Amino acid sequence: MSYVFHRMPKKSLPAAVAGDGIEIIDSTGKRYIDASGGAAVSCLGHSHRRVVEAIERQARQLAYAHTSFFTTQVAEALAEQLVSTAPSGIGHAYFVSGGSEAMEAALKLARQYFVEIGQPQRKHFIARRQSYHGNTLGALAIGGNAWRREPFLPLLIDAHHVSPCYVYRDRLAGESDEAYAQRLADELESKILELGGDTVAAFVAETVVGATMGAVPPVAGYFRKIRAVCDKYGVLLILDEVMCGMGRTGRLYACEEEGVTPDLLTIAKGLGAGYQPIGATLASDRIYDAIVDGSGFFQHGHTYMGHATACAAALEVQRVIDEDNLLANVQARGEQLRAALRARLGDDAHIGDIRGRGLFVGVELVRDRTSKAPFEPQRKLNAAIKQEAMTRGLMVYPMGGTIDGKLGDHVLLAPPFICTPSDIERIVERLGDAIDAALVSTGALAASAS
Ligand code: PLP
């Protein structure tokens, strides 16, 4: 009997009692390698001494001061650190408590920006199918994750969706990356024109798609073309790096690799690395100046925004990543992880695609490799893989609905940046065994053979 209102009340969960580097330990003493960082959160693993001490120092000195009365040194220092490492043009950080709050702030900032500059007719948001931007009503409305949206549809504001950039399934045979990116940019342009060029406020996208599709990076040049379309029609570009940002792809900001600067950039998860709940909306000078020179304030706010203890944790996380040169490790271990997955699973008839960037990796499962046909969703293959992995002391983040919200299965991996080469080997070995076992226990293997 539990008094906690759990996510899935009928499911019985082990109790986590301690963390030790890349592992979580449950109340029976069993250890689990956290190969997904929870949901791409715990980038420094668990119980990191420096971060724990920074939190303790800040809590002793000052845990919290309401942001309508005070600023704090630690929030100022964190903002400076983030802005100084962000793509040029990003000038300010608005601190909140998580990813959905960061997205809500981004949507409202975009809207208020247009009100401030005398374009109040801009009210439409365009995002992509098969994306996730959070579970609060605004973020859920913008997101293109069909099953998450469905029960709440009557409550959601209008949002418009175009195709994701999904090479494995959607690039046509013989189509170059360039031509594919152009086709998608043309689709966005048509959508903007359909809605009325001067009525669209922003285009929203995850730089590298996370949980919904399983670490899907864009093709080269895609975001440059998207940026050009946005600029042509005065539409803002909002990049959601709640999951893929803060070093996960081997760059602090995933969009660095795309060569574009968004107008608004959201981060969370890896920002506080799970040590404190914190997110941020980073704003370009253009947006910030319009608000400051206009009404003078952003009409938004939360009680816990800019929380001093959360900022102290995030600041220490950023220092550790920098001083321990962890981005280089993310790149090296990411290459190793993809190569090891290809070696272990690459010849498996049910592994369709192994993809990702840095330590953000996706494995997509298929019933048939040639046709790329997925398994029947009723088999719940992704859930079985999660369970088999937990049995083997491995945390991964599988999900279904990879293709359209209903069909498809994938596994998302997001191990801590501190992983060693032997950690990667252990992760691949356990995951390989878990996938093999799940294909058998769900009957998927037998069904595909018959
Ligand atoms: N945006 C993306 C890309 C995410 O992956 C998530 C969470 O998984 C969110 C937003 C929402 O973040 P949170 O769960 O912290 O509210």
pLDDT, tens only, 390-405: 999 999 999 999 999 9
Name the closest-CA residue to atom 1, ligand 1.
Answer: 133
pLDDT tens column, 132-188 = 999 999 999 999 988 899 999 999 999 999 999 999 999 999 999 999 999 999 999
SS3 content of the chain, % helix, strand, coil (to 5): 45, 20, 40
Q: Which atom of ligand 1 is nearest to the CA of 277?
A: 15
CATH class of 51-323: alpha beta
Q: Return all residues near 148 (Cβ < 8 A) that are at least 6 apart.
A: 132, 135, 140
250 within 8 A of 213, measured Cβ to Cβ: no
In this predicted structure, the answer to whether residue 347 has a pLDDT above a threshold of 80 is yes
Q: What is the distance between the alpha carbons of residues 195 and 188, in angstroms, rounded to a whole number?
A: 11
In this predicted structure, the answer to whether residue 15 has a pLDDT above a threshold of 80 is yes
In this predicted structure, the answer to whether residue 205 has a pLDDT above a threshold of 80 is yes
In this predicted structure, the answer to whether residue 449 has a pLDDT above a threshold of 80 is no
In DSSP terms, 410 is beta-bridged to 364, 399
Q: Where are the alpha helices (DSSP H) in 209-278?
A: 222-232
| Averaged pLDDT score across all residues of the chain | 97
Name the closest-CA residue to atom 13, ligand 1.
Answer: 99
In the chain, where the domains are located: 16-34+325-449, 51-323
What's the predicted TM-score (pTM) here?
0.98
Residues with CB under 6 A from ligand 1: 39, 98-100, 103, 132-134, 206, 210-211, 240, 242-243, 268
Name the closest-CA residue to atom 5, ligand 1.
Answer: 243
Q: Output the six-digit token pair for 163.
A: 């195709």
Q: How far is the CA of 273 from the centre of ligand 1 (A)?
A: 13
Name the closest-CA residue to atom 12, ligand 1.
Answer: 99
pLDDT tens column, 177-202 = 999 999 999 999 999 999 999 999 99
Total Cβ atoms within 10 A of residue 254: 29
Q: How confident is the model at residue 1 (pLDDT cuts 50, 70, 90)?
A: confident
pLDDT tens column, 406-419 = 999 999 999 999 99
DSSP-derived secondary structure for 248-266: TTSSSSGGGGGT---SEEE
Percent over 70 (pLDDT), the chain: 100
Mean pLDDT score, 324-344: 98
> Which sign, positive or negative, has the C-alpha torsion 316, 322, 324, 327?
positive
What architecture is the 16-34+325-449 domain classified under in CATH? Alpha-Beta Complex (3.90)
Give the side-chain half-sphere CA count within 13 A for 394: 29
- What is the structure's pLDDT at 446? 83
Q: What is the distance between the alpha carbons of residues 337 and 266, in angstroms, rounded to a whole number?
A: 27
Total Cβ atoms within 10 A of residue 336: 18
pLDDT tens column, 241-279 = 999 999 999 999 999 999 999 999 999 999 999 999 999
Query: Probe ligand 1: pick from 132, 149, 204, 244, max atoms within 8 Å of CB?
Result: 132
pLDDT tens column, 36-73 = 999 999 999 999 999 999 999 999 999 999 999 999 99
Query: Probe ligand 1: pick from 140, 238, 269, max atoms within 8 Å of CB?
Result: 269
Q: How far is the CA of 132 from the centre of ligand 1 (A)?
A: 7
Q: How far is the CA of 269 from the centre of ligand 1 (A)?
A: 8
